[in-house]
């Protein structure tokens, strides 16, 4: 039967070819491939809808057939049914794998894509905030404003502020604290 002839019952012939392939008969495997390859490829192509992937999966199916032909049990179904079941499972696995990869890629991108920096919006927001801070400074007493300007705009420590203003350290701290409270109240009320 190695000459490629098909028996009266093609299912029986495929079953014998599969059993011979399980014994390592390469010629039987080649005949089995010639007899079923187009059908397997057609099924896989219908599932995957991509010719290159379908051809790759079909190759994987026949590699699996060569390795596991001994697991075929004729009492459980036809040889063609067994082949097509292997092909369908392999094709569905490929679809699931591609879908899972797509989900992983999407999740990665959504976590790692930075929002583009908008310099114009940032500048406008900074100017608006500066205007609000200057307005809040206007509600301070002259002594509070000078203490806060020295501490925050000139970067002086509390000790340096007290020395610069010629006031005790506790007084400098009180002016800064009270001024910050008034500013906070002013800024909080403006929102």
CATH fold of 10-112, please? Rna Polymerase Sigma Factor; Chain: A (1.10.1740)
Among the residues of 23-157, which ranges form H helices? Answer: 26-48, 51-68, 79-112, 119-138, 142-148
Model pLDDT, residue 11: 66
Model pLDDT, residue 123: 77
CATH fold of 119-189, please? Arc Repressor Mutant, subunit A (1.10.10)
Model pLDDT, residue 113: 64
Burial class (CB in 10 A: 0-12, 13-18, 19+), 149: middle
Which pTM was predicted? 0.52
Boundaries of every domain in the chain: 10-112, 119-189
Model pLDDT, residue 21: 94
What is the mean pLDDT of each successive set of 10 residues along the chain, which is 191 residues long?
Answer: 49 89 95 96 94 95 95 92 95 90 82 68 75 79 88 85 92 89 76 43
Model pLDDT, residue 116: 64
Model pLDDT, residue 41: 96
Same fold yes or no, 10-112 and 119-189: no
């Amino acid at each position: 039967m190695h000459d490629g002839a098909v028996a009266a019952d093609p299912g029986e012939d495929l079953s014998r070819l599969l059993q011979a392939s399980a014994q390592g008969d390469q010629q039987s495997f080649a005949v089995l491939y010639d007899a079923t390859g187009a059908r397997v490829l057609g099924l896989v192509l219908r599932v995957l809808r991509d010719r290159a992937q379908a051809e790759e999966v079909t190759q994987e199916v026949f590699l699996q057939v060569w390795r596991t032909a001994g697991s075929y049990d004729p009492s459980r179904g036809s040889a063609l049914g067994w082949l097509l079941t292997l092909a369908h499972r392999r094709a569905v696995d490929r679809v699931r794998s591609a879908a899972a990869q797509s989900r992983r890629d999407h999740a990665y991108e959504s976590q790692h894509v930075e929002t583009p920096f908008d310099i114009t919006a940032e500048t406008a927001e900074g100017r608006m905030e500066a205007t609000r801070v200057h307005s809040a400074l206007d509600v301070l007493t002259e002594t509070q404003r000078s203490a806060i300007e020295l501490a925050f705009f000139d970067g002086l420590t509390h000790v340096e502020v007290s020395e610069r203003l010629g006031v005790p350290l506790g007084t400098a701290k009180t002016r800064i604290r009270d001024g910050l409270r008034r500013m906070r109240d002013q800024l909080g009320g403006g929102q």
